[in-house]
Amino acid sequence: MSSTPNPSPAEAASHARRAAALLVHYANRDEAGFNAIVSELQTGEDSVRLVLGLLGMFDTAMPMLFTPGGIHLVKQVVAQLAGVEYGGDQ
């Protein structure tokens, strides 16, 4: 999948930083910040690494969703989205 299957620690940190920053900008609906991270991508390899970084973050977060608190949170989000979908909360 990659021409550099084992990035250096500095490269791995750079990819993880971009992934984390992208999520923060997305959560804050910061389009300029989101675009700044995307503009840092110089190659297709960078894009692949960014996606892999995002997936790695989800691998870390997903187990937390399977706790009682995580399940409760997901239920709340589902209820809120259902309200919007069916014309309730907008």
Domain positions in the chain are 9-63
pLDDT above 70: percentage of residues in the chain: 91
Q: Give the DSSP letter of residue 78.
A: H
- What are the structure tokens assigned to 35, written together? 């675009």
**Res 31 pLDDT > 90:** yes
In angstroms, the Cα distances linking 74 to 13, 29, 78, 84 are 30, 20, 6, 15
Higher pLDDT, 38 or 88: 38
